[in-house]
Amino acid sequence: MEICRDSNVCGGCVYQGIDYDKQLKNKVGEVKGFLDKKSIKYGQLFDIEPAPERYAYRNKMEYTFGDMEKDGPMTLGMHKKRHFMSIVTVDQCQLVHNDFNKILRTVLNFASEKGYSHYHKKSHKGLMRHLIVRRGIRTGELLVNVVTSSEKGFDEKEFTDMLLELSLENKIVGILRTVNDRLADAVYCDELRILYGREYYMEEILGLKFKVSAFSFFQTNVDAVEKLYSYALDLIDDFQDKTVFDLYCGTGTITQTLAKKAKKVIGIELVKEAVEAAKENAALNGLDNCRFISGDVCEMLKTVEEKPDVIVVDPPRMGISPDALDKIIRYGVDQIVYISCNPKTLAENLYYMQYYGYKVESVKPFDNFPCTKHIECACLLSKVGK
């Protein structure tokens, strides 16, 4: 595929146009660099797992309305490299299905022709704020969510009709309008209006069904995360008839996969909405041996009476806090599986765990986000002198 038209200005793809083998080599080198810098003693650093697909793999995009130049024509897309106030229209993005690009261009044309204003970050005035498109890779379902301020004038019916008339490969199952009057340049929901269909789409991962609502976190690259999770769970010697803790569980993808074999799985997640989605999806999949708890991992572990036989952690980019690590280590389980989206904080956490009695058996990087800087890793730790 040719280099993206917007590669020089869009801030999304740092590896755009770089040979894929070199991308993989750079990412492995980055992981090894962080591990070596912290003097992590690891048994094996395995080869990086390439992505199943290098293009059109993202199932969600959050676009911003704005302009490239002050008082210039309205744009819709991503922030320009090193220019927070400028927005690049990315209607030829290679990381998404072309339906995303069609929807983006159509929505931008609609807003421009109607004379709608974009929201200004400094004056805090304007109507159009964001456009969020989500897609079920396995189901072909699309969810379109336009985010506006509460300023009057937005024609909901004409917007809906315009989208439903589009010729797309996937099927739009929901059109939403989110009203957001917060000052921060982020998507908040003061009010959610369902303009058409439903406020969720369906997805399938590892034989499980997931109902993904408008603001639920969900893995961005479904095909790649299946490979990552399958590999990570195969690292555990045996979790059949055992109690497993899945910490930082998100919407419970790993929790439910574990629940198909384990005696009991307890998932803990800070984001309340994710926990509610996890409970709903577990019921959808007929799983009654997993429990989900909403709250800070460290604080919630103090309230759980059960003791784990195995622990799986999949923390956010900032890694695991020292207090939570202390609690995890004190359980003294034989095996811990650490799934990481940030090799820097992974190395910092491994250094701490290594000091307090855990051996790093293996680390395997995964390239779940080609053309970008992001790297995932699956790591197995075992208790020394178990």
Residues of each annotated binding site: 219, 248, 269, 314
Please report, for residues 7, 57, 233, 349, 373, the alpha-carbon distance to residue 61 in angstroms, rounded to integers and kept in the order given: 17, 11, 29, 30, 17
Is 249 tagged catalytic?
no
Q: How far is CA 94 from the centre of its chain?
A: 18
Enumerate the β-bridge partners of residue 143: 134, 174
- Residues in binding site for S-adenosyl-L-methionine: 219, 248, 269, 314
Taking the C-alpha atoms of residue 219 and residue 249, their distance in angstroms, rounded to an integer, is 12
35, amino acid identity:
L
Burial of 368 per CB tally in 10 Å (0-12, 13-18, 19+): buried
**Sheet of 74-80: strands edge to edge?**
83-89, 74-80, 60-67, 128-135, 141-148, 171-179, 191-197
**Smallest Cα–Cα separation from 61: which of 90, 82, 18, 85?**
90
271, amino acid identity:
V
Active-site residue, from 4, 298, 341, 371: 341
Taking the C-alpha atoms of residue 97 and residue 385, their distance in angstroms, rounded to an integer, is 50
Please report, for residues 19, 85, 119, 254, 335, the alpha-carbon distance to residue 123 in angstroms, rounded to integers and kept in the order given: 43, 13, 8, 43, 53
Enumerate the β-bridge partners of residue 336: 311, 381
Catalytic residues: 341
